[in-house]
Chain A
Amino acid sequence: MTNSWNDIKNADVILVMGGNAAEAHPCGFKWVTEAKSNNGAKLVVVDPRFTRSAAVADLYAPLRPGTDIAFLMGVINYLLKNDKIHRDYVKAFTNASYLVKEGYKFEDGLFTGYDASKRDYTNKSDWEYQFDEQGMAKVDDSMSSPNSVMSLLKAHAGRYTPEMVERICGTPKDKFLKVCELIASTATGERTMTSLYALGWTQHTTGAQNIRCMAMIQLLLGNMGMPGGGVNALRGHANVQGITDLALLSTSTPGYMVLPSERETTFADYMKSRAFKPIRPGQTSFWQNYQKFFVSQQKAFFGAAATAENDWAYDYLPKFDTGYDTLKMVDMMAAGQMNGLFCQGLNIMMAAPQKDKTRAGLGKLKWLVVVDPIETETARFWENHGEFNNVDPKSVQTEVFQLPTSVYVEEEGSFTNSSRVIQWHWKAAEGPGESRSDIDIVAGLYGRLKAKYAKDGGAFPDPLLKLTWSYTNSASPAPAEVLKEINGYVVQDVTDPADPTKVLLRAGQQLPSFAVMTADGKTAAGCWIYTGVYTDAGNMSMRRDASDPTGKGVHPNWGFAWPANRRVLYNRASSDPNGKPWSERKKYVFWNGARWTGADVPDYGPLVAPDKSVGPFIMNPEGVGRLYVRGVMREGPFPEHYEPMDAFLENPLHPKVSVSPVARIFAADAKSFGTPDKFPIVATTYRLTEHFHYWTKAVHGNAVLQPELFVEIGERLAKAKGIKDGEWVEISSQRGAIKAKACVTKRIRPILVNGKPCDVIGLPIHYGFIGLARKGYATNTITPSVGDASVNTPEYKAFLVDVKKTSAPAASAMA
């Protein structure tokens, strides 16, 4: 979230699209009802299904799964055509006025620089800005030059007329325009819109661009950095924000720094492309501090072994060749390229797409370690459960180890929620039986590996042997000690450069903020963005002061929000270029003549006066928000609608480039995609409020509230197929088939796509062959194994199927 849960109450329009907040985030949804009942907010829901969120919405519009970009670009077109943008904001705080190189082109669905043989843009040089001699980006303040970002955007978005939106998305034009009108009502500094999304946007081959599209809309409306604005990812697990912050991706290190690639063999190489220099006069480009954060991280990782001489143990870090995400792992397993798998807190056989591929892959492993608090299908992948898991145990040679863990209530530690607020939780009960905490299991593994390397040596044992492991009990590090290490501490006294006798930071002291970090190895911090969470004043994540002095939902003394206890990111943008709030109603962070002040911690130099013209987006070398990105996104500078891999129709915009030209497709999966002649129905998958992933089917109460797998079918399709409520239905895709009970509903509206009826079905995940709920098929048996081009998130949300009436699964399997 750029903003916070509590901040939703400040919104005037709430757009729930690419998510189903009421269903998946019922507790956070309280802030939506708060905004509605106390701020007069209007709730808009855009979703293929009329969801629980839609049930309390003021306006609902349907769309075909996988067409969000078409819809959102349509919104951008509406805003530009009708001049419903926050002009002053756009001019001052975005790159709308920047000039792009003449060579930039977008034709027939492709940007310049595409290499079809590599399925990638191999030459992105024409995507650059025009620079002057000083290396500064050229701008045209009128934003009217044909190569200005604004002009390019107008041309790009101009194709997404309301008629085109209706053709692609199936959203009736009048509904679409009503949504546009409400969104456009926030193009002033008086009103704001918040965007709440989740996996409904990420789990597409165009996932990252879906979200970018919304970021662009919010910039055009001037809603970034504003109370009640922002682009807000609602995170699924209680601590998934935390795991992302601490390097979830295999190519990241903590705090969203980047793991060196194999091309960056030296520290100098690595730093060359990291410390972004400002590309506009007077800008800050906060990433200039990258080296300070990186060196502090290395000091935290390797302590005394990280020295200036060895480039802060740069060589100790692994260098990646390619990303190793879930899809990649499954693909490698299935190809017999992996010996073992540590599956910790993940039920991969249920959670990954194309279940049969996953199961085959697990069967090719020599060993599988499942670290989980409950019995999972993954640990039992070799067991025959009739048609739900039809496998011959004798054919599987994989040795499976199950390590039972405690659950979060059985251990203390911190959670980081969607609002980026780190909150401590205390142990409520002992874990049952032989369960141990995940920390203890990892520590035990580390201890044994270290001992073995110490004894037997190895090709390069240093990274393991010299890892900092200075916990009181090395076999069981206390979570508080780990959090202290993540926060960071002073290794060696830091003195004032002006007066070396003056000691600014004493060795051993906890770091108060990342601003004091140094690049000379005197400070150490495991995750720079978390610095401030555990200072000498104590564990800030334990704070539980609910007071909210300004009434803006900031609650500054509740837990600790990264970065720097800031609740709304880019909040400098809540005031105009002169530092005056855009409106009294939305007054948040402003210049009081001497410093930046207001409800929140300013996301800005607190003493940098407005006349210095430093942009509010200090992480960007431009200092402004990007309506146009240069090389960051793999798919191109602007979002473009591409059909899902299982394409329902030829892309009306550019039939030759129908699907994403850069989505990653494994050779093994090349034939796994369906076509509408065989699979004429669009399917999507989702979660239910009554369940949490594949865990809660192990909980009696949850099993009672939603006992069994079902498939939601619109009345039109049900009638055509002769399917009635509660009857068994077979749903097949190019990847396989499953059975589920029919839920015939009016909530899937009959839509027309490209003038033809398009039927959509919906399938919850959650069910499997282990647990207290009714046994059932894994929904992911039929989902496609293809990833988003930028971050490789699987496309669970839009694929093609066929449905037909069938008989119940064999009684033996159900028992």
Chain B
Amino acid sequence: MATLQSLDIRRRSASTEAPPQVRQGSLEVAKLIDVSKCIGCKACQSACLSWNDLVEPVGFFEGSYNNPPDLTPTSWTVMKFTEYEKGDDLEWLIRKDGCMHCDDPGCLKACPAPGAIVQYANGIVDFVSENCIGCGYCVKGCPFNVPRISKTDRKAYKCTLCVDRVAVGQAPACAKACPTQAIYFGSKEDMLDHADKRIIDLKSRGYEKAGLYDPPGVGGTHVMYVLHHADKPSLYAGLPDDPRISPLVGLWKGVLKPLSLAAIAFAGVFGFLHYVTKGPNEVSESDERKGDDLAGGKGA
């Protein structure tokens, strides 16, 4: 997996410097989550907690198998269970939620702290905690509602795609732990091939709308799903049907930035030129006299 390991940085939040480009041949990685094979055993959740030294507090039963109910700063992946009734039949859709590692990451786009979010050449989007200022902009930037800000240290956390494991040729902890091989890891190309095979199998079992979830709205993702109902991703605990970076975020982190600076600069320059060309607005001698005259009666 040597070629999957490059930690060259492709993109860096709030930075304008050009990324290194000399080393070539780094493959893009991907994790393929085959929802049709997932039994919701939470081995991935457990492995994630264990590998990443995370201690999630013991919660309560809150009405479903989702525990904890949602992603938290210490639970970077959680299983989400949806009961879906299709006519007389029932399906229990179980989706492993977590960072999708978008090719065009909204979090990185929104992040104001230089180097707090990076995207490696292999496509992994990683939060560099020591650079994080805890503003929560990544939360607003993310189309999947993934990053979580810790109440303890006010830093953002999410799945790293086990970048530390991938860097030494290992698959992410969740993929390693998955007993049913519902989680595959490798080059994005291989994962796309594998997904094709799985989709053919699913179609042969009557899931005519089976397909891959690799949403183009975010440039594709480095975590992809094989879905039985690829036509309706939102069935799977609200997986966005067509995720894209919010236009508001696009405005905020796009045109607004240069336009604002330009407006401020323009105002400054205008004032300066005005002053240079028109000179100061001064009170004349006559104004002073007239003022004295008016005030005279009272002041004298």
A-B contact pairs, 18 of them (CB 8 A): A26-B39, A29-B39, A50-B90, A53-B39, A60-B89, A690-B42, A703-B58, A704-B59, A704-B68, A705-B46, A708-B60, A710-B61, A725-B62, A726-B62, A726-B63, A743-B64, A774-B60, A774-B61
In the assembled complex, which residues on chain A have CB atoms less than 8 Å from the CB atom of B89? Answer: 60
Chain A residues closer than 8 Å to B94, beta-carbon distance? 52, 55
| Contact residues, A10-60 vs B (CB, 8 A) | 22-23, 26-27, 29-30, 32-34, 36-37, 40, 50, 52-56, 58, 60
Having A37-B198, A709-B61, one finds 9 other A-B pairs with CB under 8 Å, namely A22-B39, A29-B39, A55-B94, A56-B37, A56-B38, A689-B41, A704-B58, A726-B63, A774-B61
Q: How far is the CB of B202 from chain A (nearest CB, A)?
A: 10
Chain B residues numbered 2-52 whose CB sits less than 8 Å from any CB in chain A = 36-43, 45-46, 49-50
Interface pair B181/A33, CB less than 8 Å apart: yes
The 0/1 profile, CB within 8 Å of B marked 1, for residues 735-747 of chain A is 0000001111111
Of B37, B38, B49, B60, the contact of A701 (CB 8 Å cutoff)? B49
Q: Is the CB of B83 within 8 A of A701?
A: no
Contact check, A708 vs B91: say whether CB atoms are below 8 A apart.
no
Cβ of B56 < 8 Å from any Cβ of A?
A: yes
Q: Given A726-B62, A745-B83, A774-B60, answer yes or no on A700-B55 (Cβ-Cβ < 8 Å).
A: yes
Please report the C-alpha to C-alpha distance between residue A815 and residue B36 in the assembled complex, in whole angstroms: 40
For the A-B complex, the count of residue pairs with Cβ-Cβ distances under 8 Å equals 120
Are B39's CB and A701's CB within 8 A? Answer: no
Given contacts A30-B180, A33-B181, contact A22 B64 (CB under 8 A): no
A772: nearest chain-B partner, CB-CB: B58
With most chain B CB atoms within 10 A of its CB, the pick from A23, A710, A773 is: A710
Which residues does chain B contribute within 8 Å of A37, judged by CB atoms? 37, 198, 201
B-facing mask of A693-723, CB < 8 A → 1, else 0?
A: 0000000111111111110000000000000
A64 to B38, CA, bound (A): 26
* A364 at the B interface (CB under 8 A): no
Query: A749 interface residue, CB < 8 Å from B?
Result: yes
Q: Tell me, in angstroms, the Cα distance from A353 to B15 when the chains sit together.
A: 65
User: Which B residues are CB-close (under 8 A) to A26?
Assistant: 39, 41, 43, 179-180
- Residue of B56, B59, B61, B91 most packed against chain A (CB within 10 A): B61
Interface hub of B89, B92, B201 (most chain A Cβ within 10 A): B92
Q: How far is the CA of A56 from the CA of B34 in the complex (A)?
A: 11
A30 touches B179 (CB 8 A): yes
Residues of chain A lying within 8 A (CB to CB) of residue B287: none
Q: Which residue of chain B is the closest to A24 with respect to CB atoms?
A: B41
B282 at the interface (CB under 8 A from A): no
In this assembly, does B205 line the interface, its C-beta being within 8 Å of a C-beta of chain A?
Answer: yes
In the complex, what's the smallest C-beta–C-beta distance from A511 to chain B, in angstroms?
37
Residues of A within 8 A of B198 (CB): 37
Of all chain A residues, the one with the shortest Cβ separation from B201 is: A37
Q: Does B170 contact A (CB under 8 A)?
A: no
Instruction: Report the separation of the CA atoms of residues A196 and B42 in the bound assembly, to the nearest whole angstrom.
Output: 22
Q: Which residue of B lies closest to A34 (CB)?
A: B181
Asked whether, in the complex, the Cβ of A33 is within 8 Å of the Cβ of B182, the reply is yes
* Distance between Cα atoms of A52 and B91 in the complex (Å): 10
Whole-angstrom distance between the alpha carbons of A706 and B75 in the complex?
14
**B145 interfacial contact with A, CB 8 Å:** no
Kindly list chain A residues whose C-beta atoms are within 8 Å of the C-beta of B85: 746
Q: Nearest chain B CB to A28's CB is how many angstroms away?
A: 8
Q: List chain B residues, Cβ under 8 A from A702.
A: 46
Prevailing SS type, chain B contact patch: loop
State whether B57 touches A744 (Cβ < 8 A). Answer: no
| Residues A50 and B181 in contact, CB atoms below 8 Å apart | no
Contacts A26-B39, A772-B58 given; does A749 touch B180 at CB 8 Å: no
With the chains together, A27 CA to B61 CA distance in Å? 25
Chain A residues within CB distance 8 Å of chain B: 22-23, 26-27, 29-30, 32-34, 36-37, 40, 50, 52-56, 58, 60, 689-690, 700-710, 725-726, 741-747, 749, 772-774
A56 and B39 contact, CB distance less than 8 A: yes
| Residue count of chain B within 8 Å CB distance of chain A | 42
Task: Give the docked Cα–Cα distance between A26 and B49 (Å).
Answer: 19
CB distance from A572 to the nearest CB of B (A): 33
With a 10 A CB-CB cut-off, give which of B36, B38, B41, B42 has the most chain A CB atoms: B41
The chain A residue sitting closest to B93, CB to CB, is A55
Residue of B nearest to A702 (CB): B46
Q: C-beta contact mask, B87-101 vs A, less than 8 Å → 1, else 0?
A: 001111110000000
Docked complex Cα distance between A772 and B243 (Å): 39
Interface residues of B in 163-197 (CB under 8 A from A): 179-182
A-B CB proximity, top 4 nearest: A725-B63, A708-B61, A22-B39, A726-B63
Q: How far is the CB of A60 from chain B (nearest CB, A)?
A: 7
| Pair A689/B58 contact, Cβ less than 8 Å | no
Instruction: Report yes or no: B58 in contact with A700, Cβ–Cβ below 8 A.
Output: yes
Say yes or no: B41 contacts A52, CB within 8 Å: yes
Give the complex CA separation of A50 and B65 in angstroms.
13
- State A701–B65 Cα separation when bound (angstroms): 15
Report B-chain residues with C-beta under 8 Å of the C-beta of A742.
Answer: 63
Of chain A, the residue at the smallest CB distance from B94 is A55
Closest to A776 in B: B61
B83 engages A704 (CB within 8 Å)? no
A-side contacts of B68, CB under 8 Å: 704
In angstroms, Cα B90 to Cα A60, docked, is: 9
Q: Which of B59, B90, B94 has the most CB of A within 10 A?
A: B90
User: Taking the nearest CB of chain A, how far is it from the CB of B83, in angstroms?
Assistant: 4
Residues on B with C-beta less than 8 A from A36 are 37, 201
What chain A residues lie within 8 Å of B93 (beta carbons)?
A: 55
Q: Known: A60-B90, A701-B49, A747-B83. Contact between A55 and B39, CB under 8 A?
A: yes
Q: Are B83 and A58 in contact (CB under 8 A)?
A: no
Taking a contact as CB atoms under 8 Å apart, the answer to whether A701 and B64 are in contact is no
Q: How far is the CB of A8 from chain B (nearest CB, A)?
A: 12
B residues near A690, Cβ cutoff 8 Å: 41-42, 67
Q: Are A707 and B58 in contact (CB under 8 A)?
A: yes
Whole-angstrom CA separation of A706 from B45 in the bound complex: 12
Chain A residue with minimal CB distance to B43? A26
A55 touches B181 (CB 8 A): no
Whether B61 lies near A726 (C-beta < 8 A) is yes
Chain B residue at smallest Cβ distance from A746: B83
Cβ–Cβ < 8 Å partners of B204 in chain A: 40
Enumerate chain A residues within 8 angstroms of B180, measured Cβ to Cβ: 22, 26, 29-30, 32-33, 56
Quick one: which of A58, A706, A709, A725 contacts B205, CB cutoff 8 A?
A: A58
* Chain A residues, CB < 8 A from B83: 745-747
Please name all residues of chain A whose beta carbon is closer than 8 Å to the beta carbon of B65 when the two chains form the complex.
706, 743
- Tell me whether A704 and B57 are in contact in the complex, defined as CB-CB below 8 angstroms, given that A26-B179, A742-B63 are known contacts: yes
Q: Chain B residues near A772 (CB, 8 Å)?
A: 58
Q: Are B64 and A704 in contact (CB under 8 A)?
A: no
Per the bound structure, the CA–CA distance linking A744 and B59 in Å amounts to 19
Inter-chain CA distance A36–B49, complex, in Å, is 30
Known: A26-B180, A704-B49, A745-B83. A52 touches B39 (CB 8 A): yes
Chain B residues with Cβ under 8 A from A53's Cβ? 39
- B42 CB, nearest partner CB in chain A, Å: 5
Which of B40, B58, B61 makes the CB contact (< 8 A) with A55?
Answer: B40
Encoded as 1 (CB less than 8 Å from any A CB) or 0, chain B from 207 to 245 comes to: 000000000000000000000000000000000000000
Name the residue of chain A whose CB is nearest to the CB of B204: A40
Choose from A33, A54, A705 the contact partner of B92 (Cβ within 8 Å): A54
Contact B61 A29 (CB under 8 A): no
How far is A710 from B59 in the complex, measured between Cα atoms in Å?
13
Q: Out of B37, B38, B61, B63, name the residue touching A707 (CB < 8 Å).
A: B61
Q: For the complex formed, measure the closest distance between the CB of A703 and the CB atoms of chain B, giving whole angstroms.
A: 5
Give the residue name and chain of the B residue nearest to A42 (CB). B205
- Chain B hits for A706, CB < 8 A: 61, 65, 67
Interface pair A33/B205, CB less than 8 Å apart: no
B-side contacts of A705, CB under 8 Å: 42, 45-46, 67
A19–B232 CA distance with the chains assembled, in angstroms:
32
Partner pick for A743 among B55, B60, B61, B181, CB 8 A cutoff? B61
* A30 touching B63, Cβ below 8 Å: no
Expressed in whole angstroms, the Cα–Cα distance for A243 and B22 within the complex equals: 62
Contact partners of B41 in chain A: CB under 8 A? 22-23, 26, 52, 689-690
